[in-house]
Amino acid sequence: MEGPKNHADNWAVGVFFDKPQESQPQIRSVLWTSLLFLFVGLGASEKDSTPVVVSGILGGSVIFPLNISVDTEIENVVWNGLDEALVLAYPGKHPIFLVKSSESRINISGSYSLYMRHLTQKDEGSYKAQINRKNSKVTTKKEFILHVYGEF
């Protein structure tokens, strides 16, 4: 004779398989919907999880690479560094330098990467790019940490 059924033995499996066949598509639908919201939520943030470390030498130059594809339609790119806005770039236009003292030391490439020359110790710190694409409400953010070392 069989003993009483223990509910703890298969309670998780029973949730999915003890139901009649017609309810299983609903369960799959709920699971797929949950996964969809998870991926949409991850994509909306569009922020690299880890800052990119860039190293430079005193008096030298560095590039903070964005690697934006040429077929990406850009509305604008804003570069911030050391807690202030540095430069604003629009496609087909000259960049707008927001910190006039840095204008002679920084430039923006055709792929919106930031180029900085004549590095000093004061340049060390966090630099962030905010990339706004045309017809998108998502702002992609990329962070860099600059370390400046003395000459070797």
Q: Give the DSSP H or E segment for 145.
A: strand 139-149
Helix, strand or coil, per DSSP, at residue 122: helix
Question: Taking a C-beta distance cutoff of 8 angstroms, is the pair 54, 62 a contact?
Answer: yes
Question: Taking a C-beta distance cutoff of 8 angstroms, is the pair 51, 143 a contact?
Answer: yes
So what's the pLDDT on residue 141? 95
CA geometry: angle at 49 spanning 45 and 53, to 5°? 135
Q: What is the largest CA-CA distance in the chain?
A: 90
46 burial (CB, 10 Å; 0-12 / 13-18 / 19+) is middle
So what's the pLDDT on residue 15? 41
Task: Give how far the C-alpha of residue 96 lies from the chain's centroid of Cα atoms, to the nearest Å.
Answer: 23
So what's the pLDDT on residue 52? 97
Q: What value does the CA radius of gyration of the chain take, rounded to a whole number of Å?
A: 26
* pLDDT string in tens for the chain (152-residue length): 555 544 444 434 444 444 455 555 554 444 444 433 433 333 444 555 699 999 999 999 999 999 898 889 999 999 999 989 999 999 999 999 999 888 999 999 989 999 999 999 999 999 999 999 999 999 999 999 999 999 76
Which residues, listed in sequence order, are joined to residue 78 by a DSSP beta bridge? 88, 130
So what's the pLDDT on residue 71? 86
What does the block give as tokens for 89?
């770039």
So what's the pLDDT on residue 47? 58
What does the block give as tokens for 44?
């909306």
Between CA 54 and CA 56 the distance in angstroms is 7
